[in-house]
Structure 1
Amino acid sequence: MSLASAAESMQNDLADLRKRLHQVPEVGLDLPQTQALVLEALEGLPLEITTGKSLTSVVAVLRGGARDDASPRTVLLRGDMDGLPIVEETGLDWASTNGNMHGCGHDMHTAGLVGAARLLCGIRDELKGDVVFMFQPGEEGWDGAGHMLEEGLLEVSGRKPDAAYAMHAHAFDQTGIFSTRPGPFMFASHALHVTVKGESTHGTMPYRGKDPVVAAAEMITALQVMVTRNFTLFDPVVLSVGMIKGGSTNNTIPPEVTFSCTVRSQTNDTSPQLEKYVDQYLTGIAAAHGVEVDYRFIRQYPATINDADEAAFAEETIRAVLGDEAYTPQVNPITGSEDFSRVLLEVPGAYIGYGASEPGLDAKTAPMNHSPYALFDMAMLSKASLVYAELAARRLERFAREAAGA
């Protein structure tokens, strides 16, 4: 049986698994019920399984039967498992009722990676290398990938992986369409928290104090100028203020104002410059107003940068397996961020998106990921499993040909 036929035959089982995962979404690094379901789904497969210490990760290693024992090659496949702290409003019969929701499709990713593991175990004797299946908690802001790297993810098979792939379902893109691109796929993510300290005074006598409100206002507008005047349009930076607090009455200048920003950059090269300019602008404006400023610039996730060769290989594989109509190039990077970027800093690989809008909905107006109404096309489970499995099997085959000089 071909991998495609095998994937199609397991669609119902994967759908059942996804429903079970969907009903018990867990948030953060501790996902005991999710981990238990994954371990149950992998039971009986010829896998070497390791669970996390600081988080409920699952790492499963499949040893290929046709591997070169002297110099085995390895491919890593990632599926994130965590949900979101939002109340589900989809109305599905199998909707979550615990106050959390798989609103970003990670139940799809988890079930899809289980499917890939089953497919590849079915052709174990033909596999010309090893496969590492990375079931990751804490993608949604918890840096689960970073924790797994610290716990030895890249050494678990005995050698560092030679290629790595991750995929993400999009509720707002046409179902069945996969996409990737070379270079930047998702932006780096940083946080900026600022506290401006002045001297409180009555609003009718501002000259008797130091006004942190006008200083903070100038800082906020200056930061917008900073990103447009110091960074090229071809390597853009986005800075948005999402929170500002200060004062409790209209006729008193407060002693302090705080504001917080999200900062995104297309590449990692701009991060040192960002920190330098933030310091210059904030301290300069504070000095001009005679106020104090304290700030924290926190580098959260690096940019997700696809290796050009691996992105091309992913495109080639998707076209070969599902047909040309199933692939559309990702024209521009996505301004969101992703902790799989940490893996791609260590291993050449590719991050791939795929459309999974619910049939019957207009993808252009369908609820987006992270919406309490987000729906994902269940039929994409077998296709995602197939693409994952084919990426691993074909990449190992190519590594073997390259080693043989073919």
Structure 2
Amino acid sequence: MTGPTELPPLPDTRLAALRSEADALQPATVALRREIHRKPEQGLHLPRTQAAIRRALDGLPLEITEGKATTALTAVLRGEQDGPSILLRGDMDALPLQEDTGLEFASEVDATMHACGHDGHVAMLASAARLLSARRHELAGSVVFMFQPGEEGYHGARHMIHEGVLDAAGSRVERAFGIHLLSHVESGLITTRPGPLMASNDTFTVQVIGRGGHGSSPHNAIDPVPAAAAMVGALQTMVTRRISVFDPAVVSVTRIAAGTTTNIIPETAELTGTIRTLSEATRAQVKADLPAVCEAIGQAHGCRVLADVEPGYPVTVNDPDQALRVLDLAQRVLGRAELMADPIMGAEDFSYVLQRVPGAFAFLGACPPDVDPAEAPTNHSNRVRHDEGAFPAGVAMYAAFALDALAG
């Protein structure tokens, strides 16, 4: 595909060598990835991972600061000419999974695994910092490298924003770019789309309170179980009848809990689940409608209802021009790119950055060459594997985005 004609292209002479330079850095990229993969850490406090990144960046002309509330790490590369600043992001944290891949560098930490490619993100970003450091003379401005903990549900990007990552170079970054590996997409393929790319994610809990009693005499109790069951169906009807099919929402009840044994009607039942939307307007509507529907059903059954929606990540929305620019760069740097037809309903906290700065988030295929993409274990599987052969494409794309944005 080709990019939009209204965006001035970066001369191909500046792009031609990026892939070969990224290839030359591949041993260091793989070494860092495997070091982090062996010793994964969860959440907002990742001291081993932070230390590994610092070692990988040692000797580069970077201004490095560490997070205060977290083990975030921000590195600023200043070009040899004045100009704006842009941001490149890689997330650092692992998941609570027991790895079952059989890899020689598999996790050595019990019940913790890099199952979403964050180890690869960190390694690609660190190598991009090295590549761009060697090209400082071509940068009319500054690059902010955002090494972020706590993406997996901990709002790590928001913590870094609050501590000033968007102003780390002395002025507000003007563009932002992030890459995410996908294990079930052809290795080395960049894919993204303008507008909504990933969904918001909110969590709901509904407690249904009745009156317990003997299972043989339901008329002497107020049974919360049928009320809870009715809510499950009603929430699906709510989505199909109140939400536009052209601005969709997903409401999934993923857990129902009630009772202790066969002959007791419990006093309470509980529903929990997830809400996914692709616009903030629909998100707000579902967050308002869900408690109202459940409360009305509870009242019809004589039960009290306590419904709570816990906010998660916002919708990840790509700036249209920046998304098309990324696809154009991928076509010229890597020789191929793919425009995504539809968003995906997973969520991502890079959304906090894109709420504040025009930018783009893109996926990089990393399906192992010996696996059919249709059969590959996906991200968040304990058997997922990411092809390290895709890493030079990611390194080159990080560098291309910076060179294009800061072309003198």
The TM-score normalised by the length of structure 2 is 0.94
Q: CA deviation at 1:221?
A: 1.0
2:30 to 15, 21, 33: 15
* SS of the residue 1:185 aligns to: strand
Corresponding residue number in structure 1 for 2:72: 57
Corresponding residue number in structure 2 for 1:5: 20
* SS of the residue 1:115 aligns to: helix
Q: CA deviation at 1:128?
A: 1.1
Q: Distance in 1 between matches of 2:313 and 2:105?
A: 33
Q: Distance in 2 between matches of 1:66 and 1:4?
A: 24
| 8 Å Cα contact 2:319-2:359 kept in structure 1 | yes
1:86-125 equivalence runs, <5 A: 86-99=97-110, 100-125=112-137
Q: Distance in 2 between matches of 1:176 and 1:5?
A: 14
Corresponding residue number in structure 2 for 1:270: 282
* SS of the residue 2:145 aligns to: strand
Q: CA deviation at 1:314?
A: 0.5
Which residue type is aligned with residue 277 of structure 1? D
Q: CA deviation at 1:4?
A: 2.7
Corresponding residue number in structure 2 for 1:28: 43
CA RMSD in angstroms, aligned pairs only: 1.1
Corresponding residue number in structure 2 for 1:139: 151
Q: Distance in 2 between matches of 1:300 and 1:384?
A: 28
Corresponding residue number in structure 2 for 1:75: 86
After superposition, the C-alpha distances for 1:54-108 in whole angstroms (9 at most, x for unaligned) are 11111001111122xxxx3111000001111111111111111212111111111
Deviates more, 1:178-187 or 1:269-278: 269-278
Q: Distance in 2 between matches of 1:201 and 1:92?
A: 54
| 8 Å Cα contact 2:291-2:308 kept in structure 1 | no
Equivalent pairs counted in the alignment come to 392
Q: Distance in 1 between matches of 2:200 and 2:68?
A: 27
* SS of the residue 2:312 aligns to: strand
1:163 to 156, 165, 175: 175
Q: Distance in 1 between matches of 2:285 and 2:24?
A: 52
* SS of the residue 1:263 aligns to: strand
Deviates more, 1:43-52 or 1:201-210: 201-210
Q: CA deviation at 1:21?
A: 1.2
Corresponding residue number in structure 2 for 1:180: 192
Q: CA deviation at 1:359?
A: 1.3
* SS of the residue 1:112 aligns to: helix
- 1:149 correspondence with 2:161: yes
Q: Distance in 1 between matches of 2:134 and 2:20?
A: 12
Q: CA deviation at 1:218?
A: 0.9
Q: Distance in 1 between matches of 2:390 and 2:298?
A: 53
Q: Distance in 1 between matches of 2:102 and 2:261?
A: 43
Which residue type is aligned with residue 198 of structure 1? G
Percentage identity across paired residues of the two chains: 44
Q: CA deviation at 1:12?
A: 1.2
* SS of the residue 1:94 aligns to: coil
After superposition, the C-alpha distances for 1:98-120 in whole angstroms (9 at most, x for unaligned) are 12111111111000000110111
Q: CA deviation at 1:235?
A: 0.6
Q: CA deviation at 1:238?
A: 0.3
Q: Distance in 1 between matches of 2:338 and 2:145?
A: 26
* SS of the residue 2:281 aligns to: coil
Corresponding residue number in structure 1 for 2:338: 328
Q: CA deviation at 1:385?
A: 0.5
Q: CA deviation at 1:337?
A: 0.2
Corresponding residue number in structure 2 for 1:403: none
